[in-house]
Amino acid sequence: MMMNSSLKNLCKVQSGTIIEGKWHKNRYTIIKELGFGANGIVYLAQFHNQRVALKMSDNGMSITSEVNVLKSFAKVQGSSLGPSLIDVDDWTVRRQTISFYAMEYIAGPDLLTFIKQKGTGWIDVLMLQLLSDLHTLHEKGWVFGDLKPENLIVMGPPPRIRCIDVGGTTIQGRAIKEFTEFYDRGYWGLGTRKAEPTYDLFAVAMILINTAYPKRFNKSTGGVTQLQEMIRRAKPLQKYEAVIVNALHGKYQSAKEMRFDMIRNLNEPIKHAQSSYRKGSAKQPIQKSRQSQHKRKGGWLETTLIVMVISILYMIYIYGQIG
Amino acid sequence: MNPGTLKQILLITDGCSNQGEDPVAMAALAKEQGVTVNVIGVMEQDTIDEQGMKEIEGIAMSGGGVSQVVYAQSLSQTVQMVTRKAMTQTLQGVVNKELQQILGSTKTMEDLPPEQRGEVMEVVDELGENVKLEVLVLVDTSASMKHKLPTVKEALLDLSLSLNARAGNNQFGVFVFPGKKKDVEKLLDWTPQLESLTSIFPKLSTGGITPTGPAIREALSYFRKKRSLRSLLSRDDEQFFEESM
């Protein structure tokens, strides 16, 4: 994606520059650039004795619109949806006005970097955290929209995933404001660009696929066929196949549902992964396969038990309803 | 507040015009008639020459629209982004006029403190979701564009996908220039869906000249024609049509 060169020049700020707000007169000292997107540049800045992230843009509309989202998130009690908002203001420089807002600085590597550093074992935990947050966000009537690894930062320790860029966050039922092709169901020919919970869950599925293909890939045939083929080709993805495909088809009505399914799906492979880790089994392929067979049998027993317990509970429930 | 129907011309080209009226003047003419002109320059590995760049920026500026130069690969994302940005810009203009009436001064949204700006933005957002939109796409089919046309088609399908996610009504029309016999040729009449492009686009032949100015003029007159046709149709007919679908 190319950015308007004028925007880049206008908002290019040297470290050490002091940004003083026109309305609230707060002073921020720029430390360094953290990154830029289609709608502005984010800087790390010093404000009194805390470090904050400062987003600037020559497009006041997009700043205002993001501030609206962050303000609405702030009303959600004890939430970790997006960074918390600190200040909104304008900065006048060279007779031009640049809108900016200051927010909590969320420090840490982005999702893919974190997984590369700490291992794929973290994928499950982080995805479950993400789905919890998405559930809260959807309950409040929003859809995140531009969900992608670059917009997911892992804070910590203890590791905690956080969404950072609310530029695409849209009220449910409207058209998605901003998206990135690879994570967009419209691009893959698998749905509309209407802001619905299923839109975000599609993106979560694509992020999972992305963990196995960090460089992403282009659309060839498009549709589920190509994506399913890519899942099958990547061994680490196979255990998620059912969940990913369901999310690609928009079968999960809520993030909670997807989360629940993911936990259920993971219970068995997690055991397997742990046992093979203990044995350092990469060098002992025969033993590993035998062991996994054994585990699979155990899994069956467990499944039958769970199904039985659930059906008994269900019968009790039905009985209660009738009575 | 009812901003009516937003009218846009979206020009997709890869270089300089070389025939007919000055496209910058034609874009200014469009603006005078309430039609915004947006321009997307499609480039190859090499960049567009300076003169082409100047023209692209000039057309968008005098047409009150947005311009962006991109590589063919990122055309889809750009087309929808430019269209949306231009929509928001126009709506902001409408809202600003309204504000000036209320506040009785030359105040615009930017002059409001950030706290109040948020509320105004919500109005703009809501309008953007519900306003009627007419986009007339003008595709340059001069020889150098030939192998970029499949990408252009993809980008236009993608555009209708993005805009049709809105609650508001959309109408698209597609013109190409140069046409087979004339400067400009109509490829697709006003339609809410662009899917039919898939069958028409591969058959396109490309020509040598680039009559950008005449193309914009023709597109403009098409907006007018549409209006007069619309007034002939009674509301009942439209409803009947919708119900019989």
pLDDT tens by residue, A147-162: 999 999 999 889 999 9
Specify if A82 maps to a domain. yes
d(CA B180, CA B176): 10
Tokens standing for residue B102: 């209320």
Q: Of A56, A78, A104, which marks where a domain is finished? A: A104
Determine the average pLDDT of the residues in A281-302.
52
Specify if A198 maps to a domain. yes
Q: What is the pLDDT of residue A1?
A: 37
- Name the β-bridge partners of B173: B136
Specify if A41 maps to a domain. yes
Residues A28 and A126 in one domain: no
Q: What is the pLDDT of residue A287?
A: 44
Tokens standing for residue A143: 């859809």
Residues A147 and A86 in one domain: no
Cβ contact (<8 Å) for A193 and B115? no
Interface test with B, best of A193, A196, A219 (most B CBs within 10 A): A193
Q: What are phi and psi of A174, to 5 degrees?
A: -90, 180
Mean per-residue pLDDT over chain A, rounded: 85
Tokens standing for residue A268: 């068995």
Specify if A97 maps to a domain. yes
Residues A96 and A119 in one domain: no
CB B88 within 8 A of CB B56: no
Q: What are phi and psi of B123, to 5 degrees?
A: -65, -45
Percentage of chain A surpassing pLDDT 70? 85
Q: Of A76, A104, A132, which marks where a domain is finished? A: A104
pLDDT in tens, A48-61: 999 999 999 888 88
Alpha-helix runs per DSSP H in B109-232: 114-130, 149-163, 197-200, 212-232
Q: Of A46, A81, A104, which marks where a domain is finished? A: A104
Q: What is the pLDDT of residue B239?
A: 38
Specify if A290 maps to a domain. no
Least confident of A225-229, B50-54, B132-136: B50-54
Per the structure, the complete domain to which residue B75 belongs is given by 5-244
d(CA B7, CA A82): 36
Specify if A28 maps to a domain. yes
Q: What is the pLDDT of residue B88?
A: 85
Q: Does B123 contact chain A (CB < 8 Å)?
A: no
d(CA B169, CA A78): 40
Nearest CA-CA distance, residue B165 and chain A, Å: 5
Residue of A nearest to B88 (CA): A61
Residues A43 and A133 in one domain: no
Per annotation, catalytic residue among A89, A124, A133, A146: A146
Of B187, B190, B185, the closest CA to residue B172 belongs to B190
ipTM strictly over 0.85?
no
- B118 chain-A contacts, CB cut-off 8 A: 64, 67-68, 71
Mean per-residue pLDDT over chain B, rounded: 82
Cβ contact (<8 Å) for A68 and B121? yes
d(CA A319, CA A87): 56
Q: Does A175 contact chain B (CB < 8 Å)?
A: yes
> CATH code at A49?
3.30.200.20
**Choice between B100 and B24, residue whose per-residue pLDDT is larger:** B24
pLDDT at B29 over 80: yes
Residues A10 and A72 in one domain: yes
Question: How much is the pTM?
Answer: 0.79
Residues A272 and A210 in one domain: yes
Percentage of chain A surpassing pLDDT 90? 59
pLDDT at B235 over 50: no
d(CA A61, CA A99): 9
Nearest CA-CA distance, residue A210 and chain B, Å: 20
Per the structure, the complete domain to which residue A53 belongs is given by 5-104
Specify if A307 maps to a domain. no
Active site includes A133? no
Q: What is the pLDDT of residue A262?
A: 92
Residue of B nearest to A179 (CA): B77
pLDDT in tens, B144-171: 888 888 888 888 998 999 999 999 999 9
**Helix (H) / strand (E) containing A123:** helix A122-139
- A183 chain-B contacts, CB cut-off 8 A: none
Determine the average pLDDT of the residues in A249-262.
95
The count of domains in chain B is 1
- A38 chain-B contacts, CB cut-off 8 A: 81
Scored b (16 or more CB within 10 A) or e, A86-103 reads bbbbbbeeeeeebbbbbb
B193 band by pLDDT with thresholds 50, 70 and 90: confident
Q: What is the pLDDT of residue A283?
A: 40
Residues A235 and A161 in one domain: yes
Residues A134 and A236 in one domain: yes
A281 band by pLDDT with thresholds 50, 70 and 90: very low
> CATH code at B165?
3.40.50.410
Determine the average pLDDT of the residues in B171-188.
87
Residues A156 and A224 in one domain: yes
d(CA B194, CA B210): 24
Pairing relationship of beta strands A18-20 and A27-37 according to DSSP bridges: antiparallel
- A4 chain-B contacts, CB cut-off 8 A: 68
Residue A80 CA neighbour count, 13 Å, CB half: 15
The count of domains in chain A is 2
Residues A97 and A166 in one domain: no
pLDDT at B179 over 60: yes
Determine the average pLDDT of the residues in A131-147.
94
pLDDT at A284 over 60: no
pLDDT in tens, B83-142: 888 888 888 888 888 888 777 766 777 788 888 888 888 888 888 898 999 999 999 988
Q: What is the pLDDT of residue B31?
A: 92
Cβ contact (<8 Å) for B121 and A61? yes
Residues A228 and A115 in one domain: yes
Q: Does A74 contact chain B (CB < 8 Å)?
A: no
Q: How many CB pairs under 8 A join A and B?
A: 72
Cβ contact (<8 Å) for B110 and A97? yes
CB A140 within 8 A of CB A77: no
Percentage of chain B surpassing pLDDT 90? 23
**Choice between B224 and A1, residue whose per-residue pLDDT is larger:** B224
Q: Residue B112 CB: number of other CB atoms within 10 A?
A: 17
Residues A20 and A65 in one domain: yes
Tokens standing for residue A260: 């629940």
